[in-house]
Structure 1
Amino acid sequence: MYEVIGKIDTRAFRVLWMLEELGQPYEWTKAGPRSAEVMAHNPSGKVPVLLVDGEPVNDSVAIMQYLADRHGAFTHPAGTLERARQDAISNFLIDDFDALLWMGARHVFVLPEEHRMPEIRSSLKWEFAGAVERCAGILGDKAFLTGDEMTVPDILAAHCANWAFSAKFPLENDKFNAYVKRMRDRDAFKRVAALAKA
């Protein structure tokens, strides 16, 4: 049994989605960043945390990749060129999707008010638009980012797209948007989205 700690409107959504795709049972503790439940397992206070037999694993992408490796699904095998390319796409998405969105959030509501620079969002949105175009290029005519089968970076990309939509970051590439819609139409995504509304 796994336990996921983190509110669903955070990167914990990704981990819950991966567990739903894998069909693995889990418990979910709806705790926010820097809460007592989180701090007990991650001194940085960041979410999500995955408890595996009581042992914590931190960072949403590391957690997703661990689960994919452990259950032999949604990933290419370690040590293959396909896995290296998969990891390169994950790193691209962390650097050019997630990091830009997080920086935008930090300057709106995360940082102390005296340290916020909301005007930086204009530059971040410009960079993000370029990253969306590059991601569409990686996708090409494939069903998923690494080929015919869904892998970890697909969850990462689709979750970031949802975040971008709510943060009003540009999503203006038709190919990318059609891909995200296919991801959102997956039953596992819908189950997690239903948890968010419950």
Structure 2
Amino acid sequence: MYKVYGVLASRAFRVMWLLDELGEPYELIRAAAHSPDIQGVNPGGKIPALQDGDDIITDSTAIMTYLADKHGKFTFPAGTIARARQDALTNLLLDEFDSVLWTASRMTGLLPEEYRVPTVVPALHYEFERNLNKLADRFEGPFLMGETMTIADILAVHCLNWATIAKFPVTNETLRAYARELSQRPAYIRARQTGM
């Protein structure tokens, strides 16, 4: 059985949601970032981490890619044009959504106070909304890439929900509806319940 190290209100949720979608059992080891519990598994102190047997994988996107490839679901086959498009979309989401949200979190509370620059947050809001509208132009529906749900959808919905909690301007109704709908999936709900 897989072991997931992390907490619900973190990128570990992406891994938990995917495992629930895959129907794979896992044990959640509640470990906060930089806690002794995670540093025993990931010396860098970051969450999530996935334990598969004796092997440890870190970084939520690397973990999701590994699981999707291993189980042959929520991904297109490696070496295909569809997979290249999926990977491009995944990297776009990391660059233009996840990194913007993470920077805002650091500038408003995670960094030591002397290094915070909260005045940058309005620029991050602007950038996020601009990126959101560009993503909406590429949205095929019902999932990002049409009829097939991939790990890019899990990443996108996690970022959209994170943005809503962080009071970012999630004004595009198409993507708001998309995030609401995917947040009602049974696997999403099970993962949230597991993490509570």
Work out whether the TM-score is over 0.5. Answer: yes
Distance 1:146 1:173 in 2: 18
Matched, 1:32 2:67: no
Q: Secondary structure at the match of 1:56?
A: strand
1:45-87 per-residue CA deviation (whole Å, 9 max, x = no partner) reads 1100000102110000110111000000000000000000000
TM-score, length of structure 2 as denominator length = 0.97
Deviation of residue 38 (structure 1)?
1.0
Distance 2:192 2:19 in 1: 13
More divergent stretch after superposition (81-90 vs 52-61): 52-61
Distance 1:29 1:193 in 2: 14
Q: Secondary structure at the match of 1:119?
A: helix
Kindly provide the amino acid, as one letter, of the partner of residue 24 in structure 1. E
Q: Secondary structure at the match of 1:28?
A: strand
Kindly provide the amino acid, as one letter, of the partner of residue 156 in structure 2. A
Distance 2:103 2:64 in 1: 22
Deviation of residue 11 (structure 1)?
0.3
- Structure 1: which 5+ runs fail to align? none
Distance 1:58 1:118 in 2: 29
Deviation of residue 30 (structure 1)?
0.6
Deviation of residue 128 (structure 1)?
0.1
- Corresponding residue for 2:147? 148
Question: Sequence identity, in percent?
Answer: 46
- Corresponding residue for 1:162? 161
1:6-64 per-residue CA deviation (whole Å, 9 max, x = no partner) reads 01101000000000000001111011001112111212111000001021100001101
Structure-to-structure mapping, 1:37-186, within 5 angstroms: 37-140=37-140, 142-186=141-185
Distance 2:194 2:41 in 1: 24
- Structure 2: which 5+ runs fail to align? none
TM-score, length of structure 1 as denominator length = 0.97
Deviation of residue 130 (structure 1)?
0.8
Distance 2:25 2:189 in 1: 17
**Number of aligned residues:** 196
Kindly provide the amino acid, as one letter, of the partner of residue 155 in structure 2. L
Distance 1:195 1:22 in 2: 15
Find runs of 4+ consecutive structure 1 residues off by over 3 angstroms: none
CA RMSD of aligned residues (A): 0.9
Kindly provide the amino acid, as one letter, of the partner of residue 59 in structure 1. D
Distance 1:156 1:183 in 2: 11
Kindly provide the amino acid, as one letter, of the partner of residue 174 in structure 1. E
